[in-house]
Chain A
Amino acid sequence: MIGTALDLVVVALLVAAALAAVGARGLFAGVVFFVGYGVFVAIAWLRLDAIDVALAEAAIGAGLTGVLLLGAVGHLTRAGAGAPPRRPAIPLALACAGISVMLGWAVLSLPDAPGLQAPVAAALPGSGSTNPVTSVLLNFRAFDTLLESIVLLAVLVGVWALAPDAAWGGRPGLVQRVRPDGVLAGFGRLLPPLGLLVGVYLVWAGTKQPGGAFQGGTVLAAVWLLASMAGVARAPRVTSLILRAALVAGPVLFLAVGMAGALGGSFLGLRPDWAAALVLTIEVGLTLSIASALALLVLGPPERPA
């Protein structure tokens, strides 16, 4: 009873935040409502007992995407772009409504079967993880995850391609003006140790409980961004070899493990007796790559002359 009431409240807030984000008067207000919307979506996933998805939505959907959008609004404002046109985009609204209706119809017409839960549970021993989500991501459905990690690199290459020629080879992002004795500098020194602990723990816990490379990597990216914005740590040059090694570590390790599997019979297949170590190896590599790629996406291309 109370559970249903809570669900209804969450759904109402979710829809209200979505409508407010779309109908907001300014871009900034729209982004703020979008972040609120992401938080409500994360709570909805929690209510569905999908803790992995809730963590990812809160960290990436609300947090990181929100910061990226805020950065875009800042760039538009500095570039002198005016407010977006206020005429209603009726074809767009109709297309979105159509897709929503089709999705709703698809969900409601799903058969009452438990899905793939039973086969996943049966294959869990020997998959390298006791968290079914991690097993699906890094073993049963590893191909998707491998491509996802490569897509992230492609996106970063796209962002870096926006750098002016004179700035290439410099440090990414804008110069941060921070008072050395201000609250932000203090915050930037106080929080990173705890953030590092939480990020590493999330990756480590991912093989047994909700967590993993994407969630932990986002926390680590946030730590780096905080240290960078607080003026405590400077971002490395985009040509730095260490930085590039970290960026490709995940996909390279993943591909190496996949090729080793191919020699043993199936590409990306993990030998059951080695699976636990291999899953953790891939997780650590992916964490490095995801954390650095996400942080560099937020910092943006290098903009000052090198």
Chain B
Amino acid sequence: MMAADILTGVLVLLGVAGFFAGSVGLLRFPDTHSRLHALTKADNLGLGLIAFGLAFQAEGVADILKLALIWGLAILAAGTAAQLVARSALEERAPAEEDAP
């Protein structure tokens, strides 16, 4: 019981650190693509660590599977959204670069 609580605490703290790193990257990185990189990588890792940590508090296999499903869906959605934002940013940037000497 105690070991599970400690594991949960450590993993959730690591997950929060992942979110923090992603947020710092989002605020500090210079362009859309590197900001997306920071956001998606760190947030997916952060959410994964938090879900992993919470799995030690789950009451049964069903709860663990739900946590895994939430993580999987979040990764899928974030990855897709990141691709779309990145492509849209590329399309917006392209004409400006053609104009450049």
Cα distance A194–B77 when bound, in Å?
A: 13
Residue in A closest to B83 when the chains form the complex, CB atoms: A183
Which of B73, B77, B79, B80 counts the most chain A CB atoms within 10 A?
Answer: B80
Closest CB of chain A to B96's CB: distance in Å?
18
Separation of A32 and B23 alpha carbons in the complex (Å): 16
User: How extensive is the interface on chain A, given as a class?
Assistant: under 10
Secondary structure call for the B interface: helix
Q: Which residue of A lies closest to B82 (CB)?
A: A183
Let me know if B89 is at the binding interface, CB within 8 A: no
A102 proximal to B (CB < 8 A): no
Check B76 for interface membership: any CB of A closer than 8 A: yes
Q: What is the bound-complex CA distance between A182 and B79, given in angstroms?
A: 12
Docked CA distance A191–B77 (Å): 9
- Whether the Cβ atoms of B76 and A191 lie closer than 8 Å is yes
Contact partner, B79, options A183, A191, A194, Cβ 8 Å: A183
A201 touches B (CB below 8 Å):
no
Complex contact B76–A184 (CB within 8 A) = no
A225 to chain B, nearest CB (A): 14
Which residues of A sit under 8 angstroms from B83, Cβ to Cβ? 182-184
In the assembled complex, B84 has its CB within 8 A of some CB on chain A = yes
Write the A180-215 contact mask toward B (1 if CB under 8 angstroms, else 0): 001110110011001000000000000000000000
Q: Chain B CB within 10 Å — which of A183, A186, A190, A194 has the most?
A: A183
Main secondary structure on A side of the interface with B? helix
List B contacts of A187 (CB < 8 A): 76-77, 80
CA distance A137 to B78 in the complex (A): 35
Residue of A nearest to B79 (CB): A183
Within the assembled complex, what's the spacing in Å between the Cα atoms of A228 and B33?
27
Closest-by-CB residue of A relative to B86 is A183
Tell whether, in the assembled complex, residue B76 and residue A190 are in contact, meaning their CB atoms are under 8 Å apart: yes
Q: How far is the CA of A182 from the CA of B84 in the complex (A)?
A: 9
Residues on B with C-beta less than 8 A from A191 are 76
How far apart are B74's CB and chain A's nearest CB, in angstroms? Answer: 12
- Residues of chain A contacted by B76 (CB below 8 angstroms): 187, 190-191
CB distance from A260 to the nearest CB of B (A): 40
What's the least CB distance linking A20 to chain B, in Å? 15
In the bound complex, CA of A191 to CA of B84 (Å): 16
Q: Which residue of B lies closest to A191 (CB)?
A: B76
Determine the distance from Cα of A194 to Cα of B66 in the docked complex, in whole angstroms.
Answer: 13
CB under 8 Å from chain B, chain A span 109-151 = none
In chain B, residues 49-99, which have Cβ atoms closer than 8 Å to a Cβ of chain A? 73, 76-77, 79-80, 83-84
**B84 contacts across to A, CB distance below 8 A:** 183-184
Chain A contact residues, CB within 8 Å of chain B: 182-184, 186-187, 190-191, 194
What would 15 A/B residue contacts be, using CB atoms closer than 8 Å?
A182-B83, A183-B79, A183-B80, A183-B83, A183-B84, A184-B80, A184-B83, A184-B84, A186-B80, A187-B76, A187-B77, A187-B80, A190-B76, A191-B76, A194-B73
12 new A-B pairs (CB below 8 Å) besides A186-B80, A187-B76, A190-B76?
A: A182-B83, A183-B79, A183-B80, A183-B83, A183-B84, A184-B80, A184-B83, A184-B84, A187-B77, A187-B80, A191-B76, A194-B73
For the complex of A and B, the 9 pairs showing the least CB-CB separation, nearest first, are: A187-B80, A183-B83, A183-B80, A184-B84, A184-B80, A190-B76, A187-B76, A183-B84, A191-B76
